[in-house]
Structure 1
Amino acid sequence: MKILVTGGAGFIGSAVVRRAIREGHQIVNLDKLTYAGSLSNVAEVAGDPGYAFEKADICDRGAVDAILARHRPDAILHLAAESHVDRSIDGPAAFIQTNIVGTYTLLEAARAYWSGRGRPAAFRFHHVSTDEVYGSLGPEGRFTEATAYDPRSPYSASKASSDHLVRAWHETYGLPVVLTNCSNNYGPYHFPEKLIPVAILKALAGEPIPVYGDGGNVRDWLYVEDHAAALLLVLQRGRIGRSYNIGGDSEATNLQIVRRICAILDDKRPAGAPHDRLIAFVADRPGHDRRYAIDAARIRDELGWRPSLGLDEGLERTVQWFLDNETWWRALQARPGVGARLGTAG
């Protein structure tokens, strides 16, 4: 397939791009290169004859139309999004613009492109979303594809809005879409503003590791390479109009995650041990959802997908990757907001 990937220089997008090239697909990577995007994330495939890069904004209809006409992809895999909850609290406008207006613009461009080519049956528009659209769980239960939407942050509300737009374009115009909602990702090339890379880099620097509230917020953790495999599988084999939840079956509290990272670093960098002495509890994020958990039975039963890595092995690989790739993360330290506490405006 020739796949147009939006946001392919970001964390999850770049994992998809790298995997898709390895699987023999052709990739057109459309990315605006905002603060969280980096071409170093896809450097290993940059010279591949099946790879092309287009710097563009998904809100720019003319640019998107031109890219579609020039490359004539078989499918669109839409990952481009503003995704950090803390940043959405401080500045929601960018989330409304990219996640809602950008998705609308891309849908309209895709609809015109698909119709102009005679509505090929094989075309797919795959929209990638988050479990955060479902809101917050109590101590029991898991999100299914039938769970009612209940977003609690500007970020999750903007993603919920984009999900609704995608479904509406399918029902109203017949655009062949599939949707996925994933749990928290982690792994190589994770931009250093989210919990796991922050914990690793703060520990390496001997600085306080911030943990929000009491550290009891629960997330289901999914290794990014497993997510990339699932996305490509849904793109090719998912049922049109269907949504699929993708989870790692690895629930843990934020405090448990940080303590596991500290234990791994105690082994790999014993000079700084014990690293858990650096844990520092800080004021909680406004509107912080307490628990997320994914029921991934549909993608398992219908498409045969399961995560290949458990949390312990995934975290060990992730910590080792950051230890081995200091040049990559050092280059990002001066970008806006990195290393600073965000999301306190509420």
Structure 2
Amino acid sequence: MKFVGGVCLALLLWFGNLVSPAAAQDPYRITPRQKEIIQTIMNAQGGYIDAALYEEFWSAIPLTGAEKAWLVEQMQAFMVNGQVFTRESWASAEIALRTGSYTETDDYKRAKQKNFDALHAMGPGASTADFERSVANAERIIRGAANREPVDFGGGRIAYITEDLVATVLAGIDGSLDRVNLLLMPEWQPTEMEIALPEPGVKLLLPWHLARQNSVKELEQGVQLPTTFYSGALDETTFVDIGYVGFAGLKLASREVMFSAVRGAFKNAGIAFTGEPVLEPWRGHDSVTAWGTGSADGTPIAGYIRVFIPGARQGLSMVLLLRQGSMTELVGVVDGFEHKLSLVE
């Protein structure tokens, strides 16, 4: 997520120098592998966490009792609070965009103060440069939204603050926050929440939010189809893509377009059919399903897709699951996943 980065990377660098007051004679430094785990967890696009990552991260930390509690408190203060501040910056920008007026919400002000207090607690030697830079970036985003002006995000990235960009960034931050909070639990006990995906018209149970991407698919003769996809890793080997493609105003046969979408999705994913796509009823709707296999960097991949037209909408929704490994393993994943998915009529 290009627009989410700064605060998170700064926090990661800070965490690399973390020292417990009680362990000053034998200071703890985060290992390169632990940095990789944090980056995996915080990755807005394909981040994940599971029991294995959780155990690997904490088993490498030689702290117990009060020292470990202190470490968790510091991680909470900087990793979580920093992301919350970034999130509230974009939530304020969303209101500024709607009202045309520079707006700092109460949640934004509280998050800003919380980060300032945490920095102040580090003592007089603590650098305020990253914090001041984050505040300046937040104010620039909110101001750009209010004035409908392009915002320079650095690195040659310039963009207008739009409703779609706000929704995409917030989804990425929410997923990252969900996973960081799972890492900071005293024990590995993930809980699932109901997450609504309005464009595809589904709700599902997951322990973290999926990343969101909106685009326009260009067809022949100037035809444009708006698309919205929610995607992310479910674990180290399983990836999900849930999307909606609108075709309002086009005269398309629903069954024909579903078969076409299945073929196109598998082609884009590099998946070859292991059997013909099948038309079947699913929760009161026609749907088309297919299974297939492929490979990525020499690793076998199994794929599954279901395409359906949600309610009376002029468009179609799809669920694509890809998993490293055998088709047998994917079958079990699909069965469990679809039991956690509900349609919104």
Bigger fraction of residues in strand: 2
Q: Rg larger in 1 or in 2?
A: 2
Q: TM-score, normalised by structure 2?
A: 0.31
Q: TM-score, normalised by structure 1?
A: 0.31
